[in-house]
Every structure is written in C-alpha cells, then in structure tokens.
Amino acid sequence: MKIYTCIFIILNLLILGSCKKVESKFPENIGDINFDPSLDRKDFNLCDSKNIVQYYSVNTDYKDGRKALYEEIYDKFRFNNDYITQSGILTVRFVVNCEGKTDRFRVMEVDKNYQEKKFSPTFKTYIVDIIKSLSDWIPGEKDGKKYDSYMYITMQIGDGMIKTITP
C-alpha cells in the first residue's frame, strides 16, 4: 500500500511541476493601475510595485487635510463658458508613491444616474491637469513604513462647475 501512495504522490508532483504559469491580461487585483507608456511618466518610481495599497489603509493624505485639498482644487478651477454643457460625475484615480509624488492618472466618467458617459476631452484634460498640479501629498505610512497607494478624487460636475468633491 505504501508503494501506491508513493507512486501517487510522485505522479502528482510531476503533473504540478509541468504546469505553466499563464499570463493574464487582467490586473492582479481589481482596480490596479498598470503602467502605460503612452500615458505615464517613465521616471515615476514606486517603492514596491507589487504592493500598492488603498489610501485608507495607510492614511495617505494631503498637507493640512482634505479641506485644504478641496480648497486648492476649487481655487485652481476657472469657469469657462465652453464647459457649460458638462454635467455628471468625474473620478480621477492615481497613485501617490512613497515619496508623495503622483502619476498613473486614470479617469472614469458617468452621468448622474451612473451610466457611462463622456465629458469633452478638453474639460477632462483640464480637470486632470488640476489634479496633477496638486503637489502636497503625504504618502501613506503604517508601522513606520511608507507605502505607495491608490488615491481617487471624485467630482460632481453640473453646468460646467464643480459642485462637490469627495472623498
């Protein structure tokens, strides 16, 4: 009986050892932002590209807090009549690295009923440029270690104006 058990174990090890790892076109974790050479800076460094955490798990923040972040966005935004038809919800996701620098900006656009929609390219670029200009990020930290983290800013847009900002 021991011989059959040994043969069974050896066969299973051989079968498992011959399996190839299949590369997936999907990110390892839902919401991961993979490097895209057509969009992202090549000089943006991550401390640990295999461990980019969510902002809320390591308290990534903005200098002087969220209120200061929102005030800076509102101060930089200038109304333009060309944007009066722009309404909906615009979310900008990005990475804050362990040094407090940002990159890998991605945009999601929906209408007030959370249905997919497209903002004008110039308006979208304008909003992303405002977010990119924010430079006082405090990297996430836990147990004395700084982390790269995902961050997002969601804006409710109405008639070309920023109505609310979260988180």
**What pTM was computed for the model?**
0.80
What are the residues whose beta carbons fall under 8 Å from the beta carbon of 31, sequence distance 6 or more? 93, 150
User: Which DSSP letter does residue 82 get?
Assistant: G
- Predicted local confidence at residue 167, as pLDDT: 87
What are the residues whose beta carbons fall under 8 Å from the beta carbon of 61, sequence distance 6 or more? 55, 137, 138
- Predicted local confidence at residue 31, as pLDDT: 73
- Predicted local confidence at residue 48, as pLDDT: 92
Q: CA-to-CA distance for 16 and 10, rounded, in angstroms? A: 10
Quick check: 88 pLDDT over 80?
A: yes
Q: CA-to-CA distance for 88 and 119, rounded, in angstroms? A: 8
Q: Where are the domains of the chain?
A: 26-166
Quick check: 6 pLDDT over 60?
A: no
Q: CA-to-CA distance for 64 and 11, rounded, in angstroms? A: 61
- Per-residue pLDDT tens digits for 28-85: 566 788 889 999 999 999 999 899 999 999 999 999 999 999 999 999 999 999 999 9
Task: Give the closest residue to 152 by CA, choosing from 56, 47, 88.
Answer: 56
Residue 71 CA, chain-centre distance (Å), reads 21
Q: How confident is the model at residue 16 (pLDDT cuts 50, 70, 90)?
A: low
Selected residue with higher pLDDT from 137 and 11: 137
